[in-house]
Amino acid sequence: MQPHSALPAQGALPRNQRLVLDALRKVRGPRTAYELLENLRDQGFRAPLTVYRALDGLRDKGLVHRIESIKAFIACCEHDHEDRPAFALCESCGAVVEIEDAGMVSRLESICARTGFKLKKAMIEMTGTCAPCASGAGSGTGRGSRSLPGRDRA
Ligand SMILES: [Zn+2]
Ligand SMILES: [Zn+2]
CATH label of the domain that carries residue 125 = 3.30.1490.190
* Cα of 116 from ligand 2 centre, angstroms: 38
* Cα of 83 from ligand 1 centre, angstroms: 9
- Indicate which ligand has the atom closest to the C-alpha of 145: 2
Residue 147 has pLDDT above 60, yes or no: no
Residue 56 lies in a domain: yes
- What's the pLDDT at 28? 81
Q: What is the domain-level CATH number for residue 47?
A: 1.10.10.10
- Indicate which ligand has the atom closest to the C-alpha of 140: 2
3-class state of residue 60 by DSSP: helix
Element (H, E) at 87: strand 86-90
pLDDT mean over 106-125: 91
- What's the pLDDT at 129? 96
- What's the pLDDT at 73? 97
- What's the pLDDT at 83? 74
- Indicate which ligand has the atom closest to the C-alpha of 136: 2
87 and 108, same domain (yes or no): yes
* Cα of 98 from ligand 1 centre, angstroms: 7
pLDDT, one tens digit per residue, over 70-102 is 999 999 987 777 777 899 999 999 999 999 887
Q: What is the overall mean pLDDT for the chain?
A: 84
Q: Beta strand 96-99 with 86-90: parallel, antiparallel or unpaired?
A: antiparallel
Residue 145 lies in a domain: no
Residue-range definition of the domain harbouring residue 118: 78-139
Domain boundary among 76, 107, 124: 76
Please tell me which residue, 6 or 108, carries the higher pLDDT value. 108
* C-alpha closest to that of 90 among 69, 104, 76: 69
* Cα of 59 from ligand 1 centre, angstroms: 10
- Indicate which ligand has the atom closest to the C-alpha of 99: 1
Residue 122 lies in a domain: yes
86 and 71, same domain (yes or no): no
68 and 87, same domain (yes or no): no
What residues contact 129, with CB distance under 8 A and at least 6 apart? 90, 91, 92
3-class state of residue 21 by DSSP: helix
What's the number of domains the chain is made of? 2
68 and 109, same domain (yes or no): no
- Indicate which ligand has the atom closest to the C-alpha of 78: 1
* Cα of 74 from ligand 1 centre, angstroms: 9
- What's the pLDDT at 101? 83
- Indicate which ligand has the atom closest to the C-alpha of 62: 1
Residue 15 lies in a domain: yes
Instruction: Provide the whole-model pTM.
Output: 0.77
Residue 5 lies in a domain: no
Residue 147 lies in a domain: no
- What's the pLDDT at 45? 96
Residue 1 lies in a domain: no
